[in-house]
Structure 1
């Protein structure tokens, strides 16, 4: 019992020091039973002993708790002093010690989304960690359903560069079709593939019932002849596909005799009508991973079937399949789906102004809004590569970005929904406002005078007789709301006076594009000097100035 008493004292002191309060009996009992599970059957006997020890500890001071704990269990005091951070970042890759070959393989039917950015950043980061090669591979072999956009190839490379993830090699699958045909022929020769001429609906029924297609029993010579007819145009679109033999009784119908090649006569945006037999993604991707020496693949757990299908191909050809890491989906509340196909349809329908519209989850939009690549990189790396689906808010990215832009962003006045305010008295003709509140980088001069603009929302919160301060200018008393009028009170800062910002009468027209709408108003003329920069519109938020003209156009970043 004396040994048990010592354990109770140790855990009581640890609990007391941790929370700087009298020890909690339940927490101490839980620790005790965790270390000595044989005591669980004696809980009624042990409980009074816990109460006795805790009563003794409670009578001593916090200083005595710490001194006594250091005396009897210094290791627990060390644990308390070590602040434990939640597990973040990228876990180690098994088998990566000698270097890695990692790839990110988009279909270029639009620019990178935030989902794409995660793949680009994480794959490139692993290559930086272990050494090796980072490859961007365009899986662009579907000229119809996921038709590539010629511009998107360049957009991906631009965004990779911006994200500090410049690839070591760029591969375009549609330009390498000739390499796939001999591999398909070898697969046929090894008995791993056959030409299926079943109508699509008929084969679907076979697949669901686990019935073998009549063409599955064709000889190798027959399949090679039919393969040649697919290539030379004898067989027409829709008349035949090359299938990989798997197990027609596999518990998952998606694995059963999957299609590797089909005939497509639609021209491809890059290579035109040079080819008429195109590989499907599972074949093209599997072959490229082998040809490129890919060591590790990171893919969504929803694509686990791809690995199951591709392993049949690797088995027939005697190849070694890369190591695979499956990760969960990331959903960001403000955007929902990252589907490029859906975004493309919405843009074509006029729902968005383009791929850089602040309402869409593309990297281009993030750039236009003033989100820094360093913020995106840290955010994506901290997410890790776990299989758990993640649902989070853009606020996490904004918090990282704010740390980067706040020290650099000049301050400017912007008044949305402007209302003219007439001021009676000797209002200074010019205001001198700091460009930054903490960094001594000088002042901006803003024309003032007896007529200024303020926000309607500010005016609606006032009553006649209220005293307010126009930031960096003067104090006034509101004398009327309709029309908006005030009386000059002086230039000194008043106590407990509400401070609002304002804009000069001859300011510039500004439009701010936001994820949830558009704000229009008047800003100080110095905004025209901030093209391409992130600034803080005081009492509004951080924006990036994207266009100088009439009007100036800025994209909203965050508060």
Structure 2
């Protein structure tokens, strides 16, 4: 390993060792340092055998410092990341720590910047949930800005613009403003022209492979020193659509020997032949890359704080080059890890979900098996419950796991008291009744609210029970709201006993429906469709009304069809 490389490894290792030690208020760990070190510095990988020895020495030096000295050194090497750690620490009493340096701003201004290539899945919900919560905390401002400047690879879906705004409202928030980046191309062009004039960008016709070789070798592109007039002329030709896709790009001039090759003279504009799906933008063929477009917009819209995935750390570093050229102050940044959601078989990816719909594997974006906000809304889960669960995850830089049970618990807290109870029997066995039971059962609409009254369920001469509830011969059961029965020679004989037999623990309480007057129900769940029969009044419930099917769970009434009532299962 040459001396220059060793110095770079030691410098980066010191930063990550300090981050590890300060965050956990303990000695640094070589294993914990190696992961982010190699991830941020891909050129180190070819020296992977030698690097652990260098890292071990650095870690020993860091571990020899006291906590205050570690913090002071980290403030010099990586002030932004130290601020993130301290923001997390200050927020221990609340899952969301205070925003970095919030007191220095007259107004906190944040943005949610989705790519409108489809409705939102569960992973997308974290951003508006957290940003909306911060807006409320600081009486701030936030916008939804559609970063839709890639009409080819992440092609916008025209229906997604409204769908995403609906999802934002569903989560409990209303943006203060809405923008479409595809409406703002002239703004990006003007800033590119200014950047060219100050020597900060150049047009490049190298092939991708040619430039990659130059970049990785730390060698300058032969087009780098063209005069600004030529560059401006060629950029205007890009705007006019003179070049084919891949023939010409505009690059931001950075440091061609930067330790991170991904930051070396990165692409700001490229040519795309595929027309944008929005008519207003279909004529354009010179499109900004996300890092340029987003960086310009964040300044113009006066964004004070950005929250983005930790995998986008390089985006902030690229954009800082542009900000330095223009003399702008970069917003505060919080990087967080990915959120993983349990329970779903379907991958949380817009492109994957779109493909499953196209293949007929899913009925649509609101299929109960889809990990989408539309699906959860159709199942009867309140958006505020999702927001609460997402906020509880905080803003850690580590990947976090969201258990859907936490969403269900938050939703249950919101709907339990207001949701009436009903009976639903799945795969019912028909059992005749004997012994002159009452003609009508009167279980309560809600066990905690007697004032709501009771359900009046006609009994008839037989009932349906779920297979697991069939009693053994001569065993007694209590049919809820009706009374005590003994199973004798294939018949449930009414015994007339009082509820005391249940309180004494001798009799199980069973839900049931009348065989003759029950109504067919199809309940759509995350696993499959479940069929059964419900008490008669279910057929009269309004669409969108929630019910709790006793001993099964909460469900939303979706619609009444000619031969069945369709419901969507929410959760236990």
TM-score by length of 2: 0.79
Q: CA deviation at 1:109?
A: 1.0
CA offsets, 1:243-298, max 9 Å, x none? 11122222222212211111112121213522111111111111110110000001
- Who is 2:359 aligned against? 349
**1:110–1:148 contact (8 Å) kept in structure 2:** yes
Taking a change above 3 Å as real, the CA distance of residues 408 and 216 of structure 1, as seen in their structure-2 partners, is: same
**1:359–1:515 contact (8 Å) kept in structure 2:** yes
| 211-220 vs 531-540, greater mean Cα deviation | 211-220
Taking a change above 3 Å as real, the CA distance of residues 235 and 374 of structure 1, as seen in their structure-2 partners, is: closer
- Who is 1:316 aligned against? 325
> Whole-Å Cα distance in 2 between the matches of residues 226 and 383 of structure 1?
48
> Whole-Å Cα distance in 2 between the matches of residues 380 and 149 of structure 1?
26
Q: CA deviation at 1:196?
A: 1.2
Question: Would you say 1:475 and 2:484 are equivalent positions?
Answer: yes
**Which of the residues 419, 423, 433 maps onto 1:413?**
423
Question: Would you say 1:89 and 2:99 are equivalent positions?
Answer: no
**1:88–1:383 contact (8 Å) kept in structure 2:** no
Question: Would you say 1:216 and 2:224 are equivalent positions?
Answer: yes
- Who is 1:43 aligned against? none
* Partner-residue secondary structure (3-state), 2:484: strand
**Where does the alignment leave 5 or more consecutive residues of structure 2 unmatched?**
1-90
Pairs aligned (count): 470
> Whole-Å Cα distance in 2 between the matches of residues 247 and 88 of structure 1?
41
TM-score by length of 1: 0.81
**1:99–1:127 contact (8 Å) kept in structure 2:** no
- Who is 1:531 aligned against? 543
> Whole-Å Cα distance in 2 between the matches of residues 209 and 419 of structure 1?
75
CA offsets, 1:486-521, max 9 Å, x none? 333236333421111111222221111111222111
* Partner-residue secondary structure (3-state), 1:377: helix
1:234-313 matches, within 5 Å, as 234-270=242-278, 271-313=280-322
**1:265–1:273 contact (8 Å) kept in structure 2:** no
Q: CA deviation at 1:159?
A: 1.8
**Which of the residues 364, 382, 390 maps onto 1:372?**
382
CA offsets, 1:29-87, max 9 Å, x none? xxxxxxxxxxxxxxxxxxxxxxxxxxxxxxxxxxxxxxxxxxxxxxxxxxxxxxxx964
- Who is 1:500 aligned against? 510
**Which of the residues 546, 552, 557 maps onto 2:565?**
552
1:34-73 matches, within 5 Å, as none
> Whole-Å Cα distance in 1 between the matches of residues 218 and 173 of structure 2?
45
Q: CA deviation at 1:427?
A: 2.9
- Who is 1:3 aligned against? none
> Whole-Å Cα distance in 1 between the matches of residues 355 and 319 of structure 2?
31
Greater gyration radius: 1
Q: CA deviation at 1:138?
A: 0.4
> Whole-Å Cα distance in 2 between the matches of residues 537 and 185 of structure 1?
64
> Whole-Å Cα distance in 2 between the matches of residues 548 and 208 of structure 1?
63
- Who is 1:437 aligned against? 447
Structural RMSD (CA): 1.8
> Whole-Å Cα distance in 2 between the matches of residues 169 and 121 of structure 1?
16
Q: CA deviation at 1:530?
A: 4.1
* Partner-residue secondary structure (3-state), 2:389: helix
**Where does the alignment leave 5 or more consecutive residues of structure 1 unmatched?**
1-84
> Whole-Å Cα distance in 2 between the matches of residues 262 and 296 of structure 1?
28
**Which of the residues 526, 530, 536 maps onto 1:519?**
530
**2:188–2:296 contact (8 Å) kept in structure 1:** yes
- Who is 2:433 aligned against? 423
> Whole-Å Cα distance in 1 between the matches of residues 109 and 96 of structure 2?
16
Question: Would you say 1:387 and 2:397 are equivalent positions?
Answer: yes
> Whole-Å Cα distance in 2 between the matches of residues 132 and 467 of structure 1?
63
